Amino acid sequence: RLGLNLSVSIEPAAAGTGGALRHAGDMLADRFILLNGDTWLEINYHALLAQLDATGAVAALGLRPVDRPDRYDTAVLDDGLIRDFGRERPTSSLALINGGVAACTRALFDLLPDTGSIEALVWPKLAREGRLAGLVTDGFFLDIGVPEAFERAQQAIPARHRRGAVFFDRDGVLNIDRGYVGSIDRFEWLDGAREAVKLVNESGRYAFVVTNQAGVAKGHYGEADVQALHAHMQRELNAAGAHIDDFRYCPYHLAGSVAEYARHSDCRKPEPGMLVELMRDWPVDVGDSVMIGDKASDMAAARAAGVRGALFSGGPLKAFVRSQVLPKKETQCRR
C-alpha cells in the first residue's frame, strides 16, 4: 500500500549513531529524515522539513514537551533555533526533549565522526553555532529503550495505528468545482483547504480523498489525468506541510460514452464503496471518522459506510474543519 522500498546499511564495526550514518551516506538524498530505531514520535515531517528550510539550519529536531525529562537530552528553543542541547541543565520540570526525529541536509556529513554519537558530539556543536533548528509537537511519543517501555509498546503501537479518518470529497470541498476538473490548469484550491488538510494531519487522523470522476466515463479526460492531478495536489500539500494518506476516485457512470466505464459501480457516491475500501485497507477507527462533502450524495455515502457526515456549504475550510469536524482537544498528561 505504501510503496516502501527498504535498504539496510550495516557498518563493519559498531560505530555509534554518527559513524553508522556516515557509513550510509551514499544512500541518502540531499535532504533526508533521520529516525531513531527505538523511539516513535508523531510529527508532521513536511512541517519539520519546512522548518529546516526556513531557518537555513543543518538539521531540525522534533521536540516533545514532557513533565520529567529523566534520561533524555533536552533542548532550549529560541525563535525556531535550538540554542543549547544536552543533559547538563537541571531538568526536574517541564522540558523539551529530543524525540528521535530529525530533518537533515548533507552538510551534516561534514560533522559526523567515524565513530561516536550524533547526540553527544554533533547536536550540541550545531546548537552552539546556531545551526540546529527545532519544531515542537505534542504528538504521541514512545521510547522502548527500557524493558518496561518495550512491554507497553506491544499494545500501544497496534492501538495507535488504529485512528480516526477524515474523508474529503474533492471538487467543491478542496478545490473550486468548475465541472469535470481533470487537469492541473483547471484546478484551484478553495480558501483554507490546504490548511484544513494539515490540521487533520496534525490531529493524528488519516486524511483521505474520495471523489466521483464521471469525466473519465464521459470522455473528458482519462484516469492518467486524474492521477496526475492528484500527484500535483500532493506536491502542493507537501509544500504547505500537509499530505493526503490515500486518494480514491470512481471513474464509472451509467451515462458514460466510454464503454469501459459506462456502468454502475458501488464506488460511486452515494454508494459507500470508496470509503469501505479505505476502511478495509487502513486501520480506521470508524467511530472517530468523518466525511466532508458538499452534496447529498456525499452524506448518503457517509451514512452507508457508518461514518459521520459533515455538509460543507462554503467558507474557509480550515475553520469548518476546526469547528465542525475535529473535537476539542482535551487536556492530557505529557508524560
Q: Extract the C-alpha cell encoding 3.
A: 510503496
Distance, in Å, from the CA atom of 108 to the CA atom of 67, rounded to the nearest integer, reads 31
- At position 108, the amino acid (one-letter code) is L
Phi, psi of 328 (to 5 degrees): -65, 140
DSSP-H helix ranges across 142-295: 147-161, 193-202, 214-217, 223-239, 273-281
Helix H or strand E segment including 50? helix 45-55
* DSSP E strands, the chain: 31-35, 39-41, 59-66, 74-78, 81-86, 95-105, 132-136, 141-143, 165-168, 206-212, 246-250, 290-293, 308-311
Indicate which residues carry an active-site annotation. Answer: 169, 171
* 145 neighbors 39 (Cβ within 8 angstroms): yes
Distance, in Å, from the CA atom of 65 to the CA atom of 98, rounded to the nearest integer, reads 9
In a 3-state reduction of DSSP, which class is residue 102? strand
